[in-house]
A and B are shown apart, each in its own frame.
Chain A
Amino acid sequence: MSALLDIQGLAVTFGGLHALRGVDLPVAAGAIHGLIGPNGAGKSTLVNALTGTVRLAGGTIHLDGRALHGLPTHRIASAGIARTFQNIRHFAGMTVLENVLVGAHRHFTASLPALIRRSRAARAEEAYHRARATRLLDFVGLAGRESDMATSLAYGHQRRLEIARALMLEPRLLLLDEPMAGMNTAEKDELADIVRATRDGGVTVLIIEHDMQIMRSLCDRLSVLHHGEPLAQGTPAEIFADPAVQAAYLGRAA
């Protein structure tokens, strides 16, 4: 397997503080890659650095050989990295379907005059993406909720809405930032199934999650961050057997 996402020497500083330093992270195409680490290890900062919402102090990011470091967030998204947020960020004043359609934004090509006169091509484009949106909502288990307001969804369903919205981009890589936080076991299992099905559909997944039981069974590979630096990488079995990782989590001297 070749690396779809290749992060090398990534560094982020806040003031004089090194939030991330020397992070190398290759994510293989077609994998579910887990990112774990104790609180404050820099996992969310890594996601933010990857999507261009915090400035890099150094390092490179390549997606399928294309350099993404230094690009604005929307260009990174258009290049094929879609994400969900640790704190849900849906568009409150919009319906479920409208929310999901925002994810298709980069695929729309109709010009302003074409929109104003609602040309045949513009309508066809809209219909095409609406059909896709309906399929994706079905995929995440939100069929029939299209015209409900996003805010009226239950918490767990709002998480799924974010995943459907992100998948509308047709990304190469999907970043999930603690998608299972606050869910019960049954909900977590359902979400894990959605993540597997997403991977099987050809989208590489990079997932941050605290539930180690889920991560052990879900992920093909795991990377561990500790104090903003990479601590270990490997298969779940290797990682959980690693004494350095255990020390980082349990606080013993390594």
Chain B
Amino acid sequence: MDIFGQLLVNAVMLGSIYSLAAVAYTLVYGVVKLVNFAFGELFMLGAFFCVSLMLPAVTLFGYSVPMPGLPFLVAVPISVLAVAGIGVLVERLAYRPLRKAPRLAPLIAAIAVSVLLQALAQSIWGAEELRFPVFSMRQMPPIVLFDTIYIGVMQIFVLVAALASMLGLTLFVLKTRLGRAMRATAEDPEAALLVGIPIDRVIAMAFLIGSAFAALAGILYAQAYSFAHPTMGFMPGLKALTAAVLGGIGSIPGAALGGMILAFAETFAAGYLPNGAAWRDAIGFAILIVILIIRPQGLLGRREMNEAPSGSLVGDRAAGDTRWPALNRFMARMNEGSLALNIALACIAIALAFIVTNDYWLRILIFVVTYGLLASGLNVVVGFTGLLDLGFVAFWAVGSYFTSILFVLVLRDHFGIEMRDIWWLFYVNLVAGGALAALIAMLIGTPTLRLRGDYLAIMTLGFHEIIRIIATNWVEVTRGPMGIRGIPVPSVAGTPLFEPKYLYLLGVFLTIVVMLALSGLVRSHVGRAWVAIRENELAAEAMGVNTAHYKLLAYATGGFIGGTVGVFFAHSQQYISPLSFSLFENILILMLVVMGGLGTFIGPFLGALFWIVFLQVAQGVPFIQSHPELRYALLGLALLLLMIYRPQGIAARARVSLLMPR
């Protein structure tokens, strides 16, 4: 079989699917300037609906439900319409209330919707793959070209469906009244409103069409791989977003071009590079990063799309709302940052080590400390400086892998050094791992400084994926998916801290040191420069703040904390693997910060405490025991409600003073 020809056919098919989904992102972004992360999940829902309609019966919530067993060509339009309806509903319930909110709110809401839909799909259809039924079109004999290239009828169908949809959309946007209204809204929403364009209807239409495209792409993708799965939308969703950015977000031909380029690069890399299949995702993201550096507006995009919008990313939290006055009063007291209060908090944290005697709960407390610290690191970047980072876990991974490789693979396995003799190296590594992560943060940060917030988020996401793919595939250095075992537990003066009680105390001690250092930076001209950038970048620059410099410093500080926590994490767990650093962790840590309160010191720890205790308590509820993923659905729902009703987080009033204590 001719490899080149076959790869070509595969690339065109994959490119058609990416392009369709990319249109969804591009269309909605063009009209409302929102990266609707939930399109990946609408993509997945399209596939599930279609498969379910085609089967004679499916298991929903564990019960077998009879289904009509429709033919493919009937099931497709019904599923596409159903998903389009869900897309409009999501816009109405989740995004429309946030249209006037600070810029971060809708983006977080989109992530929350994405988590919610994925967890719901898992509850409804189960965590197993749902096989795509065999249908007549797939059984037709393939067309053979030059005796060597096989083209299935479905592959032709994919291409034709994609071409027809694109053409239809282009005609719609160019020729119809509503299409013109859509372009006008994209150009200037306020002016569009003034000349009498019904903006709400136009935006709903963009979501309707976008969701339909995502659903169609999902169906075509699922039939190509013969299954539907609750998490199947995540990676293609990210790829489609990449394609949209690559082609120039807001441009429909750009989405098609971006999708094709991405698919060709991935398919041919997988086909020709040694072990290429393992690296194909990394290649896609590497292309994205290069494009964002050399041409941030994308291939066919317009420059204005990359302009940094002004206005606060997180909004005026101080003017916050008046709901929950008791909580606000309590948190406002935190604002004073009194020494006595901080000492009291530290004492409580230390006392917990002696009050909680159960090792299981002590380990949970270690998790709270670890995640609270991680969230505090991310908080420097997102909460104080207002830069959205979705790849923060990468720095955590860098610290973890740095110390694990050094201790286990280099010093023990290669040089045969006894772990006991180098116990002190753990403490050196807390700093060295942090410094390494900070250095990488600055390297990544430099080219992203020119990018606007949403692009920055996508780029950090891509960076994280690359780090994760390296951790999984560079087996010689990282031991791949097996992970690294036998990382020595931290010791004090040569005595290993095997007991969770002491490990937890070490974690509390680390937290105190990190938070004292961080408070030194935040409560000074550095912290004021960060918050000034968050609130109004142009004014900050006009006041003599070198904003590029201080953004990098925020990255480096956050990265440092991430790396340091990584070292602590690796040694306290004594085992690491790429599974600990999944993409979902990025979203989770961001949620902890948002839930607790962006730009506060106490918020990240409150968020971590709430979430981890909730996880444990929820495990005791029978219904959740049988549907563990519902915990994530609840997380998504809680976050969504938080964005709509209390976007400032639980500890909103615990605003950190930016003045140095006298």
Interface residues of A (CB under 8 A from B): 51, 53, 72-74, 77-78, 82-83, 85, 89-95, 97-98, 101-106, 108, 110, 112, 115-118, 122-123, 126-127, 130, 149, 151-152, 165-166, 168-169
Contact = CB atoms under 8 A, between A and B. Distances in A.
B528 A94 contact: yes
Interface string B632-662: 0000000000000000000000010111111
Nearest to B658: A98
A94 B525 CA distance: 13
B659 A93 contact: no
Nearest to A98: B658
Nearest to B661: A118
B543 A93 contact: no
Given A74-B547, A101-B659, A130-B659, A89 B539 contact: yes
Nearest to B545: A105
A91 B526 contact: no
Contacts of B345: none
Contacts of B531: 91, 93-94, 98
B544 A105 contact: yes
B520 A115 contact: yes
A241 B659 CA distance: 52
A112 to B, nearest CB: 7
Interface string B518-542: 0011001110110110111011111
Interface stretch (B22-30, B134-142, B311-319): B311-319
A24 to B, nearest CB: 24
Contacts of B318: 92-93, 149, 151
A77 B542 contact: yes
B529 A102 contact: yes
Given A53-B538, A123-B660, A94 B532 contact: yes
Which one of A53, A94, A130 has the highest number of Cβ atoms from chain B below 10 Å of its Cβ? Answer: A94
A77 B541 contact: yes
Given A91-B540, A92-B316, A95-B657, 8 more contacts: A77-B544, A91-B536, A94-B535, A98-B528, A103-B544, A106-B544, A149-B318, A149-B319
Given A77-B543, A102-B545, A90 B536 contact: yes
Q: Please provide the 4 A-B residue pairs with the shortest distance between their CB atoms, ordered closest to farther.
A: A77-B544, A116-B520, A91-B535, A89-B539
B596 interface: no
Contacts of B532: 91, 94, 102
A254 to B, nearest CB: 34
Contacts of A72: 541, 546
Nearest to A117: B520
Contacts of B660: 118, 122-123, 126
A89 B659 contact: no
Contacts of B516: 116
Interface in B46-104: none
B543 to A, nearest CB: 5
A51 B541 CA distance: 10
Nearest to A149: B318
A238 to B, nearest CB: 32
Nearest to B533: A91
A189 B520 CA distance: 43
Interface size class of B (residues with CB under 8 A): 35 or more
B545 A93 contact: no
Nearest to A123: B660
Nearest to B547: A74
Which one of B525, B528, B538 has the highest number of Cβ atoms from chain A below 10 Å of its Cβ? Answer: B525
Nearest to A85: B539
Contacts of A103: 543-544
B659 A115 contact: no
A98 to B, nearest CB: 5
A74 B545 contact: yes
12 contacts: A82-B542, A82-B543, A94-B532, A98-B531, A101-B659, A102-B529, A102-B540, A104-B525, A116-B517, A127-B662, A151-B318, A165-B543
B537 to A, nearest CB: 10
Contacts of A166: 543
A73 B542 contact: yes
Contacts of A89: 536, 538-539
A169 B520 contact: no
Contact of A90 (B524, B526, B539, B662): B539
A192 to B, nearest CB: 23
Contacts of A90: 535-536, 539
Contact of A92 (B312, B517, B528, B538): B312
A106 B549 CA distance: 13
Interface string B147-176: 000000000000000000000000000000
A74 B534 CA distance: 16
Contacts of B603: none
Contacts of A117: 520
Nearest to B539: A89
B453 interface: no
Contacts of B528: 94, 98, 101-102, 105
Contacts of B545: 74, 102, 105
A147 B5 CA distance: 70
B533 to A, nearest CB: 9
B284 interface: no
A16 B144 CA distance: 55
A78 B312 CA distance: 24
Which one of B317, B318, B529 has the highest number of Cβ atoms from chain A below 10 Å of its Cβ? Answer: B318
Contacts of B372: none
Contacts of A118: 520, 660-661
A80 to B, nearest CB: 10
A97 B660 CA distance: 12
Given A91-B539, A93-B314, A116-B517, A108 B534 contact: no
B420 to A, nearest CB: 32
Nearest to A148: B318
B599 interface: yes
A105 B535 contact: no
B525 A101 contact: yes
Nearest to B520: A116
A95 B316 CA distance: 11
A93 B540 CA distance: 13
A166 B540 CA distance: 11
Given A91-B532, A116-B520, A117-B520, A51 B542 contact: yes
B526 A112 contact: yes
Interface in B527-571: 528-529, 531-532, 534-536, 538-547
Given A77-B543, A77-B544, A102-B543, A115 B524 contact: yes
Given A89-B539, A91-B531, A126-B660, A112 B521 contact: yes
A85 B315 CA distance: 20
A126 B524 contact: yes
A152 B316 CA distance: 11
Contact of A116 (B312, B521, B547): B521
B535 A126 contact: no
A123 B660 CA distance: 7
A73 B541 contact: yes
Given A98-B528, A102-B528, A149-B318, A74 B546 contact: yes
